Amino acid sequence: LISLIIGVFMGSVAGYYGGKTDAVIMWLINVTWSIPTLLLVIAITLALGKGFWQVFIAVGLTMWVEVARVVRGQIISAKEMQYVTAAKALGYGNFRIITKHILPNIMAPVIVISAANFAAAILIESGLSFLGIGAQPPMASWGAMIKDHYNYIILGKPYLA
């Protein structure tokens, strides 16, 4: 949810306005994307503290880049459509054109990238829980379960895990 809100907002602004706004936002996207996601999540989680909600926020703050790039590309192509030109001719403001006319028409790719990000977020959280940074013991996590039974796996008896 956090990555969707940030990604849709940043991608919409960059794609619709273009120019220097697009250049600045794309620079921010490229800088954020150049840092490995797991490393960035670990840094944010350590800054916020251990726990499920801290990991939730950290993952949301790092996975918005893909959403923003997809939304930006879709808006660049959609803003040339006739219904956007008609909305501009009717005198609608930019905010209304983006939210009421463009965004509903580009939701299909956003839903697909959201599903992929959700799967990646589960893997990142389980990796952090395996390292002891993610969800803490009373809460169930795949990474914590693997960590608890790691000795069985390395001793050649994975069926016990």
Distance CA 44, CA 133 (A): 11
Contact present, 41 and 101 (Cβ < 8 Å):
no
Question: Is residue 149 domain-resident?
Answer: no
pTM of the model: 0.83
User: In 3-state terms, what secondary structure has residue 32?
Assistant: helix
Domain-located, residue 156:
no
Identify whether 68 is part of a domain.
yes
Q: 55 is in which domain, residue-wise?
A: 1-134
Residue carrying the six token digits 């977020």: 121
Domain membership flag for residue 43? yes
For residues 31 and 103, what is the distance between their CA atoms, to the nearest angstrom?
25
Query: In this structure, is residue 70 part of a structural domain?
Result: yes
Buried residues in 38-51 as b, exposed as e (16+ CB within 10 A): eebbbebbeeeeee
Q: Is residue 55 part of a domain?
A: yes
Task: Determine the pLDDT at residue 141.
Answer: 80
Helix (H, G, I), strand (E, B) or coil at 23: helix
pLDDT in tens, the chain (161 residues): 999 999 999 999 999 998 999 999 999 999 998 998 888 888 888 888 877 788 889 888 999 999 999 999 999 999 999 999 999 999 999 999 999 999 999 999 999 999 999 999 888 888 888 888 877 777 778 788 888 888 888 888 878 77
Answer yes or no: is 146 within a domain: no
Q: Which CATH number covers residue 104?
A: 1.10.3720.10
Q: Tell me how many domains the chain contains.
A: 1
The whole-angstrom separation of Cα 136 and Cα 115 is 25
pLDDT for 56: 86
Q: How many CB atoms lie within 10 A of CB 71?
A: 30
